[in-house]
Amino acid sequence: MFEPKDLLAPTVTLLAVLFAVFAFLFPRAIELYRTRMAKLSEIDIPDHVRKNCGFRVGILGDSFLLFVISFALLIAALIYCPITLSRVADYYLGTQYVGFERIDIYSFLRDFKQMTIFLTVVFSFVPGAVLCLLVEDMFFSKRLPTLVRFYIKNVLERRPSKEEADSLLPEARRLYESKAFGESVLYSMASLELALKNKFGLPVNVGFGRLLGSVIERLGDVISAEELIKIRRVRNIAAHPSPESRVTRQDAEQVLHLVEDILQRLEMNLPEGGN
């Protein structure tokens, strides 16, 4: 026969486990968030990409998920378990010392059921958050613009797939023909940066300064620093537009032709990996 005292040992054990898991997950969530934000500050990301909801979910979704799980566990540890222990104590103290006001076992179970429903509601946010993150990663992220996915992977230090890399320059041409000159420049520069990093075997999130230094040191007779600086200057205007500075058709055409020319020179002068 069930007795409320049978809940004491598992409830105390559950309380200890919940606090232990919270103590592990919460600092991890904070550390992950700080790491991502630090990497985000090191990479020059176009304004419209930084504001993109899919971009923010892509780089911070897992840290947000850890926050949700850790706080759900904390709520359970601070509310559910103490209430359960209090109900058990009240049941036996009321029975033993009060005597004239016996707490009915069915009332106890009814209250316990209500608390369990409350805990279920609290924890429903966890599978919901997990599902949202998985769906975003598996389906919605593939629908994001290639440039957004490119910068997500830069922050996460994941190298874009060959399919994504090969699509950057054709997309730059398409955008140029559609008169989206700023976007065309951004795609052209992303294609060039990725090609140079692949050739030199550099991490995907390496800064332009180090990239430029590698070019000067190892390919100074093939690619001039002035060309890269010129492309970078136009790219910065496209990435951070203002009423006073906009990318013109001539700028986009010049960058597109320069990038195509540099990529051809790279193929002829430097094997993959920089060897």
pLDDT tens string 12-29: 777 788 788 888 888 988
Contact predicate 134/126, CB 8 Å: no
Average pLDDT over residues 96-124: 54
pLDDT at 133: 56
**Cα distance between residue 272 and residue 169, in whole Å:** 18
Residue 152 within any structural domain of the chain: no
Say yes or no: 177 and 113 in one domain: no
| Domain CATH number, residue 200 | 1.20.120
Average pLDDT over residues 198-221: 82
Residue 53 within any structural domain of the chain: yes
Residue 222 within any structural domain of the chain: yes
pLDDT at 160: 86
> Which of 164, 183, 194 lies closest to 272, judged by CA?
194
Say yes or no: 134 and 235 in one domain: no
Residue that terminates a domain, selected from 81, 103, 138? 138
More confident residue, 172 or 106: 172
Q: What angle do CA 208, 210, 214 make, to 5 degrees?
A: 110
Answer yes or no: is pLDDT of 247 > 70: yes
**Cα distance between residue 76 and residue 119, in whole Å:** 6
Say yes or no: 133 and 167 in one domain: no
Cα dihedral sign, 178-46-263-197: negative
DSSP 69-101: HHHHHHHIIIIIHHHHHHHHHHHHHIIIII-SS
Going by pLDDT thresholds of 50, 70 and 90, the confidence category of residue 78 is confident
Answer yes or no: is pLDDT of 271 > 50: no
Computed over every residue of the chain, the mean pLDDT equals 78
Residue 154 within any structural domain of the chain: no
Say yes or no: 208 and 265 in one domain: yes
Residue 149 within any structural domain of the chain: no
> Which of 77, 60, 61, 105 lies closest to 21, judged by CA?
77
Return the half-sphere exposure (C-beta side, CA atoms, 13 A cut-off) of residue 75. Answer: 17
Give me the domain span that covers residue 197.
Answer: 159-274
Answer yes or no: is pLDDT of 101 > 60: no
What total number of domains does the chain contain?
2
